[in-house]
Amino acid sequence: MESLTEPFTIHINGKPVASVTPNADNVVQAQLGSEPATFTLKDGRLVSGDWILGRNLTEDRSMLPKKISWFKEGTEPATRLHAVTVFEEGGEHKLKFGGGCLIAEENAILVDPFGEEALSALQLQFKK
């Protein structure tokens, strides 16, 4: 699926993906933090306010984890992102960014292009 109509937050190892600061640059590395961002998923885009959380199509081709960033909606970099898909596993919704799974290293959010085991650390919490 490429869309979820209900708003949700994303947690990795129990910590939420933090919302981006209002006065940030047009592209900002995503972090875990105390103020969770609320997302909707529409047509393969994870949107929170005026920002899109994503994985840039123009990244290094190494086998290392890739950076997940906030992209200001309406800017040119926000048009070059991997699609985000959602699927169900064990009764829970899980996300994939260009086929990879979200991980966190020292609060920085990355995607492991090969790490299926990272799916167990990811939780979507739907807003009521």
CATH code of the domain containing 122: 2.80.10.50
Q: Give the total number of structural domains in the chain.
A: 1
- The boundaries of the domain holding residue 52 are 4-126
Position 110 pLDDT exceeds 70:
yes
pLDDT single digits (tens) 55-109: 999 888 888 899 999 999 998 888 899 999 998 888 888 888 888 889 999 999 9
pLDDT single digits (tens) 27-61: 999 999 999 999 999 999 999 999 999 999 988 88
* 3 state SS for 61-106: CCCCCEECEEEECCCHHHHCECCEEEEEECCEEEEEECCEEEEEEC
pTM: predicted TM-score of the whole model, two decimal places: 0.89
